Structure 1
Amino acid sequence: MSEPLLARRGLSLDRLETFCRVAESGSIVKAANQDPVRQSLYSRQIRELEEFFGTALIERDGRGIKLTTAGKRLAQLAREQFAALRDFQQEVARQPVTLSIGSGNSVLEWVVTPQLPQLCQRLGNVEISLLNLRTRQIVRDLQDLRLDVGIIRKDAVTKGLKTVSFTKLTYAFFIPASWARKGVQQQLQSLPLALAAGESFQPQFLTAAANAGFTFRVVVQCSSFSQAAELAVSGKFIAVLPVVANDRLRKLGCVSVQIPFLEKCARELVLAWHPRLSAMRPIIPTAIDTLSALPGR
C-alpha cells in the first residue's frame, strides 16, 4: 500500500517534521530561529513536499505564512502520525507516555490538581503536562491536534470536537474572616472588590448583579481568579471566586458568602478532545474515562 508514496523522492519524516514546525510557528524565520542556513533548508524541504504532493501547502501572509487548505490537512495528518510514533517509542522503551491537559489556571489549581494523585495512579506510567491556556487557545490547539485534553465551557465547544460532562462551576463571594466576624456580609457593595476579568466572566457577573439591583466597587481588575484569590487572602479585598476554592481559602482565613444572583454566572465545564487524535493515542480515551469518573470534582 505504501509503494506509490515511496516510489518518488520528496517525502520523509524529516520534511514532515519541518513542515509541522513551520506551521506551528507561522513563519519559516521563527521556526528556524533566524538561522539563514536553516531557513534555506526549511524552505527547500517545504518546496519538496509541495512538489511531491502536487499542491501548495503554504502561502505568504505579511511577514509570515499561513497554511492552505491542503496544508492544514497535511499538518493534521502529520501530527497524528508523529503522536502515535512517539507513543510507540515511549512504550517500547518503557518510558512514561505524555498527556497534555489544558484549562484555565483556576480550574487546573482548584479542580484538576487535587485529583492528580488518583489520575496518575489509574493511568500508570504517564507524564502529565498541565497547561494554563485561554479557552480560544485550547479550542484551537485541540482542533490542530496539539493538545490532548481540554477543560472548557460547554458553550465554547466547536464542531469536530468530542465532549463529556466534567463539572459545574458555581461562584461565591470570598471575604476575609476578620471582616465576616463583623457582620459585613450585608455590606458587600461597599467593600473593595477584586474581580477576575476572564474572557466572559466579568460582563456576565456585572450584568447579573445589575439585574438583581447590586452595584459593586471594583477596585482591582485581575487577569485570573488566582490573582483575585491572593487579594482576598491578603485581608484587604473581597473577591468572587469558584466555590471549589472554598476548602483551600478557608484554611487561609477567608469565608464564602452565597448570593442568589451568582447562580446566573454558573458554568458547565466539559472535557473536550479531538476524535482523530484519541484514535491514535489510547492514553486520551483512558484519561477521559478516568477524569470523568473521579470523585470530588
Structure 2
Amino acid sequence: MNKDLFSRSGLSLDRLRSFLEVAEAGSIAKSAPDSLSRQAQVSRQIGELETYFETELTVRRGKTIALSPAGERLAVLVRQQFDDLQGFINEQRKLPRTFRIGGGASMLEWMVIPAAGGIRKVLGNAALNLKSMRSRELVEAVRDGAVDFAVVREDALSEEQRAKTSLPVARLSFHLCVARSLLGTRPRSWLAQSEQWTALPWAAMAGGGQLDQEVRQAVEAACGRFVPAVECTSLLQVRELVAFGACAGVLPSIGMKRLAEEQVLSREFEPLMNYGRPLVLHWNDRQMRRRGIEKPVLEKLASHLAHPARKVT
C-alpha cells in the first residue's frame, strides 16, 4: 500500500464523486442546480482536493469554471476507478456487466438499436447504456472513458485513430425523399428537376451542422433560395415528417429503412453524391484492456453494426 496516499487528509470517495459530477456536468451550478448549499459544499470539496493534490483542478472562465489539464486527467482516473468498483460490486451480485455505447441520436435509432441483441451476445449478455452525442463529443468521451465504444464519422478521427482504434461499419449515401401525396399529379421524374425543388415543403435541421449546411447550399444553388417548412433538431424528426407525408427531406441511406415505398418516393440527392460519409466503430485501447475486450470481439461488434437486421446467432 502506498502510505503517502493516506498520510494527509482531504481525499475521500465523496470528494471525488463531487468532483466527477462537476466534470461531467460542466459546472458546479449544473451539478447541483436546485441547491445553493450543495453548490457551496462541492466548491469547498474541490478546494480540498486541490490542496491534497497540490495542483489546480479547475480554472475560471468568466463566470464559469473549466477543468485544468490536471483536472481532466484526474476526472479520467476517478471515472475508471469508480467504474471498476461498480464492476466488482456487480460481479459479486452476479449482475451482468454494463457497456456504454455512444452515437448520434439517429445512428443509435437506425444502427445500434437494431443490432442490440447481437451486441449484447458478443459482450456476454451485457447490459447496454446508450449515449447520444455528436461525433466530436463522442471522440472525447471515448478518450476519457465516458463511453466504451462509439459509432462516429470517420472524419472525426485522427489518422492514427482511424488506423489503430476503429473499424468500418457503413458508408452513407444521401437521398431526396418525398411522400407521393406531396407530388399530386406530378410524375416521379419531377424529382430530378432541381429547379422545381422550392415547390416542396422541406424539413431541415436547424442546428447548423455540416450536413444541414450542405443540403441548404445545394437547394439554394439549384433554386436560388431555401425556406424550410419545418426546422427540426434531428434527422429522426426529418424522417418522421417524410413518413407522415408532411414534408420532403434529405435522408441518409440507413434512415430510409422501413419507409413504405408505396407512400414515399426517393432518389439519390445528386448534389451530395460525392458526400458519402463512412461510419466507424471507435474505441480506446486502454479502456479495452481494462475491460478485457480483445480485437476479435471488436470485429464482431463492427459486423453486427454493419448488418443490424441479421439474425442473432
* TM-score bucket (shorter structure): 0.7 to 0.9
Contact 2:216 2:226 (C-alpha < 8 Å) held by counterparts? no
Counterpart code for 1:101: I
From 227, 239, 242, the counterpart of 2:249: 239
Q: Distance in 1 between matches of 2:166 and 2:218?
A: 28
Call closer, same or farther: CA 1:142–1:181 in 2, change over 3 Å. Answer: farther
Once the two structures are superposed, what CA deviation does each residue of 1:191-221 show, in whole Å capped at 9, x if it has no partner?
A: 333233561002223445677x566754333
Counterpart code for 1:265: Y
Counterpart code for 1:196: M
1:296 aligns with 2:307: yes
Contact 1:148 1:284 (C-alpha < 8 Å) held by counterparts? no
Tell me what 2:80 maps to.
80
Tell me what 2:311 maps to.
none
Tell me what 2:210 maps to.
200
1:184 aligns with 2:188: yes
Q: The residue matched to 1:168 in structure 2 has which SS? A: strand
Gaps of 5+ in 1: none
State how 1:35-114 maps to structure 2 within 5 Å: 35-114=35-114
From 224, 231, 234, the counterpart of 1:224: 234
Report the Cα offset of residue 173 of structure 1.
1.5
Aligned length: 296
Once the two structures are superposed, what CA deviation does each residue of 1:102-156 show, in whole Å capped at 9, x if it has no partner?
A: 2222212222222112222322332212223223332333333322222121112
Contact 1:145 1:274 (C-alpha < 8 Å) held by counterparts? yes
Gaps of 5+ in 2: 309-313
Once the two structures are superposed, what CA deviation does each residue of 1:10-39 show, in whole Å capped at 9, x if it has no partner?
A: 222222112111222333343344534434
- RMSD (CA atoms): 3.0
Q: Normalised by the size of structure 2, how large is the TM-score?
A: 0.81
Q: The residue matched to 2:113 in structure 1 has which SS? A: helix
Q: Distance in 1 between matches of 2:269 and 2:57?
A: 54
Q: The residue matched to 2:274 in structure 1 has which SS? A: helix
Shifted more, 26-35 versus 59-68: the winner is 26-35
Q: Distance in 1 between matches of 2:217 and 2:31?
A: 44
Call closer, same or farther: CA 1:181–1:94 in 2, change over 3 Å. Answer: farther
Report the Cα offset of residue 284 of structure 1.
8.9
Counterpart code for 2:173: T
From 178, 198, 202, the counterpart of 1:175: 178
Q: Normalised by the size of structure 1, how large is the TM-score?
A: 0.85
Q: Distance in 1 between matches of 2:281 and 2:185?
A: 39
Contact 1:135 1:156 (C-alpha < 8 Å) held by counterparts? yes
State how 1:17-32 maps to structure 2 within 5 Å: 17-32=17-32
Counterpart code for 1:9: S
